Structure 1
Amino acid sequence: MDNKLNADPAELAKFSDLAHRWWDPESEFRPLHQINPLRLSWIDGLAKLSGKQVLDIGCGGGILSDSMARQGATVTGIDLSVKALRVAQLHALEVGTPNLSFREISAEDMAREQPAAFDVVTCMEMLEHVPDPASVVKACSALVKPGGWVFFSTINRNPKSFLFAIVGAEYVLNLLPRGTHEYAKLIRPSELGSYCRAAALELQQTRGMAYNPLTRRYWLNDDTSVNYLLATRKPA
């Protein structure tokens, strides 16, 4: 592994401390459980997961990894939180999810080890937690086969996202643990788009994600002002 990992030790510690709660749908990770069917349906609708080799970067406790494997993909989940990976592995064993494995390795190191090895690469809710998101995007591009798909989701940086994603979600509605997101690390769609272009990834689709606190329901829409998702492809 690199001596200089593209990871923030404080961020890793934060998620490690919560690792045992990943698979509790009423825990701090409830939003991830609620949005996972939306993410899975969107990814599968574009990339047709069945039979594909998939890499899930920043997989955490494996919520998305597990569901993609159950959709028929062969999935490798990678993360730098050992505790989260142990939880992911234990859950996969307990429920018997097929074709699913996990590794403690960075995206950059994985790219050097297995270039152009995957049909689909996902990097969801992860870029806003690393010091150098452009480096991760570049690694995603290196990891995917020509013609393959790379999916990102993250949070916009503007006054509305500060109000909704940080103040609202963490302090008012208690949807997420306080301190989950730092405003300065949030990424505008234009910034993520430029990282993708620099990494030779072509933008295919942009979606926003909305939440109604009264019905506790999430849905995808065209409003990228807070949470948003990007689908990109590497030219064949």
Structure 2
Amino acid sequence: MTDTVNADPAELAKFSELAHRWWDVESEFRPLHEINPLRLEWIDGIAPIAGRKVLDVGCGGGILADSMARKGAEVLGIDLADKALKVAQLHALEASTRGVKYRAVSAEALAAEQPGNFDVVTCMEMLEHVPQPASVVKACADLVKPGGWVFFSTIHRNLKSFLFAIVGAEYLLGLLPRGTHEYQKLIRPSELAAYCRAAGLDLRQTRGMEHNPITRRYWLSGDTSVNYMIATQKPGQVQ
């Protein structure tokens, strides 16, 4: 694979090393498994995905992509981490998940190939791992149909997020491997909103995600100071 546009080789290597643990619910990816039902319900509540053509950008081992396919969507998951994609493909075979395919390609390359081809595009927990997040946002906007929806999730850049998402989650509680996130790559909601507007996407909803490490409970709220999600829509008539 030569398509490495807008990707950090160190980030790809980081997730490739952990690829075999994607579907271990007690592994480093446990938080992704625990927040996945919340993310899926939020997405499906805004843009019902059953029977829709959905793209999951930065799909990793396929946790969200697989669950969206089980909701009845026709899903394509894309990533540049080959090992993670192979794990996703193997899990789909083992779990007999229909309606999901995976491909090693960047969002920018796919946007040039298949513009306006998807009803819904998701890009979750990925923007903070690429050199140029605005480029990914623009590609997502190009990939969705007029009237379609694009969903993003990422982490705020401020003192609280540094203490909670990096020091707390990675170094004190061990919820994530150390070095998973780099503070300077985190993205403020105002920055992500600006990327979306520049890409021609209208902001429709913003939600925060909170966590109680003692009870291991996650919930959505209006607090976007650490983890947050944004729902955007491309202007035009829904097809």
- TM-score tier by shorter-chain length is over 0.9
> Residue in 1 aligned with 2:204?
204
- Counterpart of 1:84, as a letter, is A
> Residue in 2 aligned with 1:129?
129
> Residue in 2 aligned with 1:12?
12
Percent of pairs with identical residues: 75
- Counterpart of 1:173, as a letter, is L
> Residue in 2 aligned with 1:156?
156
Report Cα offsets for 1:6-59 as digits up to 9, x if no partner: 000000000000000000000000000000000000000000000000000000
> Residue in 1 aligned with 2:169?
169
> Residue in 1 aligned with 2:191?
191
- Counterpart of 1:10, as a letter, is A
Q: Decide whether aligned partners of structure 1 residues 116 and 2 sit closer, same or farther in structure 2, where only a CA change above 3 A counts.
A: farther
In structure 1, distance between residues paired with 2:78 and 2:234: 21
Contact 1:22 1:61 in 2 (8 A): yes
Contact 1:2 1:109 in 2 (8 A): no
RMSD (Å), alpha carbons:
0.9
SS at match of 2:6: coil
> Residue in 2 aligned with 1:93?
93
* Cα displacement (A) at 1:3: 6.4
In structure 1, distance between residues paired with 2:130 and 2:185: 8
SS at match of 1:59: coil
Number of positions where the alignment pairs a residue of Structure 1 with one of Structure 2 = 236
In structure 2, distance between residues paired with 1:11 and 1:214: 29
TM-score, length of structure 2 as denominator length: 0.98
State the 4+ residue runs in structure 1 displaced beyond 2 angstroms.
1-4
- Counterpart of 1:95, as a letter, is A
1:228 and 2:228 are equivalent in the alignment:
yes
Runs of 5+ consecutive residues of structure 2 not aligned to the other structure: none
Contact 1:206 1:228 in 2 (8 A): yes
TM-score, length of structure 1 as denominator length: 0.99
In structure 1, distance between residues paired with 2:207 and 2:232: 12
In structure 2, distance between residues paired with 1:156 and 1:59: 21
